[in-house]
Amino acid sequence: MAQEIHGTVADGYEGVREEFASVVAAERPDYAGQLSAYVRGRRVVDLWTGADTDGDSLFGVYSSSKGAAHLVVALLVQDGVLELDREVAHYWPEFAAEGKSAVTLRELLAHRAGVVGTDGGFTLDELTDDRVLAGRLAGQRPFWRPGTAFGYHALVIGALTGEVVRRATGRTLQEVYEERVRAPYGLGFHLGLPESEEHRYLPVLPMAPTPPEQALLDATPRGPHTLAAIAFNEHGPDAVPLADFPNHRAVRALGQASAGGVASARGLAGMYAAAIGAGSGERAALLKPDTVAEVGQIHSVGYDLVARAHKSYGLGFQATADTWHPFLEPAVGSGRSLGGARCALDLVNRGL
């Protein structure tokens, strides 16, 4: 029996509802999902499906958390609090250890710092807490010469940039996000989910790869000492199964900035809409056009040493049009996340 599709679409977007229904029909019976989109300031798609699911339900969004984290960094750059071409060690002196003194904030945001993890890996308790991660990473020798190549800092980029934010402002990245982004816009996208909102959270189910995805996984095995294993914390004695990561209350409570956010599709789309003023009502855009152009400009493109594939990154954001969605105009976003969350922002057509 096909799952029922709930919600609304604006006139002219009926085909999106049909396509969403088609995708849902091919999924497992216990599938739950949401879809939300804005076009030029108007929400035109607001759909959901699944038992106990509605438009306000929250899910673990893994790497989509990075979009929220780096919106904060972009705001602080815009304010003049942070400078992209300043060395990270200017804000965070301990980071200079092991040959990292020249790494700039720009290079860090573009996944060029080479600090994708630590030699020994992290426990779950360590991986949950950005402050602890930052302390471990400060003394880590880079896995490649910073600035010469790039690779996805999958589980640590939010801790690294978050520590820069904390040193520069005296506030955690999560606190700045709550005060300047989430609360003012009433977004269902949390970096740190209050206990009072726990009833909205739906546990993430293990992902089942499609046959093509499984074939790709089988064709690219990774040993325990590859950069991919290190970046995804698979190499240490306390390797953490990431499929269950946001289902731990401590992860949701602390809002680990690389992969610990929880959101609805409305919240994800609403955050990017607020960033560029597409859907924020009477409010001005959070980011000025020059800031959007700066963070959206591709800084790293080519072979990603961690993913072992072609990737593109702006400053803290993936360039999703180049990597996955060539039908979009120049676009940035949080890319594809473990668990199925995706978000893209079309910088030309102001849609997401």
Query: Could you tell me which residues come within 8 angstroms of residue 169 by beta carbon, excluding any fewer than 6 positions away?
Result: 76, 81, 176
338 close to 207: Cβ distance less than 8 angstroms: yes
pLDDT digits (tens, 9 = 90+) for 74-115: 999 999 999 999 999 999 999 999 999 999 999 999 999 999
Residue 213 has a pLDDT of 75
pLDDT digits (tens, 9 = 90+) for 11-70: 999 999 999 999 999 888 888 999 999 988 789 999 999 999 999 999 999 999 999 999
Tokens of 60: 């673990």
Query: Could you tell me which residues come within 8 angstroms of residue 19 by beta carbon, excluding any fewer than 6 positions away?
Result: none
Of the ranges 31-40, 216-225, 320-329, the best mean pLDDT one: 31-40
**DSSP state for residue 58 in the 8-state scheme:** B
- Residue 31 to residue 16: CA distance in whole angstroms: 18
SS3 (DSSP) at 283: coil
70 close to 295: Cβ distance less than 8 angstroms: yes
Cα 43–chain centre separation = 22
Indicate if the pLDDT at residue 337 is higher than 70.
no
Domains and CATH numbers, the chain: 5-348 (3.40.710.10)
pLDDT digits (tens, 9 = 90+) for 248-289: 999 999 999 999 999 999 999 999 999 988 554 567 899 999
Indicate if the pLDDT at residue 328 is higher than 50.
no
* Strand order across the 189-190 sheet: 59-60, 262-263, 189-190
Query: Could you tell me which residues come within 8 angstroms of residue 273 by beta carbon, excluding any fewer than 6 positions away?
Result: 38, 41, 43, 279, 280, 352
pTM: 0.92
